Amino acid sequence: MNAPAEHARLARQHLIDPEICIRCNTCEETCPVDAITHDSLNYVVAFDKCNGCLACVPPCPTGAIDSWRNVEFVKPYSIEEQFSWDLLPDTTELDGFEASVAGADEAIPDEVQQLTEAATAGQGGPALAPWSAAHPYVNLYPPARPVTATVTGNFRLTAEDASSDIHHIVLDFGATPFPVLEGQSIGIIPPGTDANGKPHLLRMYSVASPREGERPHYNNVALTVKRVTEDHDGRPVRGVGSNYVCDLKKGDKVQVTGPYGSTFLMPNHPGSSIMMICTGTGSAPMRAMTERRRRRRDQKEGGELVLFFGARAPSELPYFGPLQKLPQDFIDINFAFSRVPGEPKRYVQDRIRERADKVWAMLQDENCYIYICGLKGMEAGVLEAFRDICRAHGADWDTLHPRLLANARFHVETY
Ligand code: NAP
């Protein structure tokens, strides 16, 4: 978001925090004016191209995109400078500028002021957390100061003959405080260096356990990690982070950063319902939210849980066994299996269409919050299913969708 008027002395420059960015390419794909680009190290924003539309901000899974610095209009941070950063420039620079702006004779141009307010007030810009979400702590342990956790468990979740090797990892923080909420992520720094001799970047994983710990009242978290053995085009590749994590043994020490994420958080008010839509390991935050609600069942707070969960086959489904055992009056589970021999391929969006009446009722319910997590590819299919369901009920998804976002009822985390 950069000053649109050439006469402006100061501008609010839109940047990407290299410490938190997970290099998922979502922002570059989203930017309508091609202002975002990347090299092998960083994602960056071109000052002269960014028009401040903020389209890239809500889809960013980590919030790294929501970074801003005041700069002199004639001296913004160049693309080359941003490529070389391990950290954002110090914010004390920003404070200095704010002081000088306040004291300057020349007022901040209206357009800059409006864009700045939009960035901070969430007017069609940054995603919002549900009003009743608990307070998230963010970036308590940056990559420069990670916390050491101990592995207390590593269990394979998928069948031995399944094509995906998915692990449930439990990390214990001992006496170090590590407050984390359902829907947040943590970073893990694999040991060693990359091909350029630089320390590996952190890898982010959604927490799969509820806020009071995988084991209640222990200072621990669980993760759901799939061993990456091929790239998006199916070529063999050994994922550095996922293989490191999946091979961890009990007692191993791990460098952890975070927590991250301040909006993909569950509502806490009595009567709030949750619709969860996920594929594969995108089930991690859904498992955390479900477990939080399961442990509080005796509070009789009301609200429904509806889950749409896509996987290749039952044997490939993380948490299949425990999920099957949950009572139907606690959670309404809808599985979609895509590779079961002899059965037609089914995706979550097919199951959503089959449950159109239920989905429509939940879309209408101001106390229902919707979460989508998993493969990037499913996002368009799910949105199309919502569009069809709205149309069938004489409503318009393009009107409803912004309302859901503005009310913090619609949360997407896809990679
Ligand atoms: P996967 O096993 O490859 O796929 C899961 C299911 O999604 C399969 O049934 C697959 O069907 C189906 N699918 C493929 N394309 C689809 C589409 N366009 N629409 C709807 N369904 C589709 O999944 P995965 O490898 O576990 O991937 C999960 C994703 O979640 C990853 O991108 C990961 O980065 C992300 N994620 C992980 C975490 C975490 O903490 N681990 C957190 C957040 C997000 P096919 O048979 O057609 O392949």
pLDDT, tens digit (0-9, with 9 covering 90-100), for 24-61 = 888 999 999 999 999 988 999 999 999 888 888 877 76
pLDDT of residue 26: 86
Q: What string of DSSP letters covers 293-351? A: HHHTGGG-----EEEEEEESSGGG-TTHHHHHTS-TTT-EEEEEES--TTS----HHHH
Average the pLDDT over each of 67-76, 97-106, 284-293, 294-303 and give the range with the smallest value: 97-106
Considering only CA atoms, which residue is closest to atom 38 of ligand 1? 282
Rg (CA), the chain: 22
Q: Which residues contact 405 (CB under 8 A, 6 or more apart)?
A: 58, 124, 127, 128
Q: Write down the mean pLDDT value for the chain.
A: 86
Interstrand relation of 203-206 and 185-189 (parallel, antiparallel or unpaired): antiparallel
Whose C-alpha lies nearest to ligand 1, atom 4? 280
For residue 274, the cross-strand partners are 305, 369
Say how many Å lie between the CA of residue 310 and the centre of ligand 1: 8
In degrees, rounded to 5, the angle at the alpha carbon of residue 78 between the alpha carbons of residues 138 and 15 is 20
Q: For 412, how many CA atoms within 13 A lie in the half-sphere containing its CB? A: 20
- Joined together, the tokens standing for residue 375 give 């493969």
pLDDT in tens, 174-201: 999 999 999 999 999 999 998 889 889 8
Which atom belonging to ligand 1 lies closest to the Cα atom of 318?
26
What is the predicted pLDDT for the residue at 91? 61
Give CA–CA dist 100/97, Å, rounded. Answer: 5
Q: 3-state DSSP: the chain helix, strand, coil percent, rounded to 5? A: 25, 25, 50
Question: To 10 degrees, what angle do helices 356-364 and 376-392 make?
Answer: 90
Q: Determine the longest span between alpha carbons in the chain, in angstroms.
A: 74
At 189 the pLDDT is 95
Both tokens of 409, joined, read: 């009822």
Catalytic residues: 205-206, 373, 413, 415
Cβ proximity of 269 and 132 under 8 Å: yes
Ligand 1 pocket, residues with Cβ under 6 angstroms: 164, 205-206, 224-226, 279-282, 284, 310-312, 338-339, 347-349, 373-375, 377-378, 381, 413, 415
Q: Which atom of ligand 1 is nearest to the CA of 281?
A: 26
Report the percent of the chain where pLDDT is more than 90. 64
CA of 279 to the centre of ligand 1 (A): 4
Q: Assess contact for 150 and 251: CB atoms under 8 A.
A: yes
Q: Which domains are present in the chain?
A: 10-120 (3.30.70.20), 147-260 (2.40.30.10), 273-414 (3.40.50.80)
**325: confidence class by pLDDT, cuts 50, 70, 90:** confident
Residues 6+ positions from 234 with CB-CB distance below 8 Å: none
Which one is predicted more confidently, 287 or 22?
287
Residue 120: the pLDDT is 34
CA of 414 to the centre of ligand 1 (A): 9
pLDDT in tens, 144-175: 899 999 999 999 999 888 889 999 999 999 99
227 CA to centre of ligand 1 in angstroms? 13
Specify the pLDDT at position 222. Answer: 96
| Res. 125 pLDDT band, cuts 50 70 90 | low
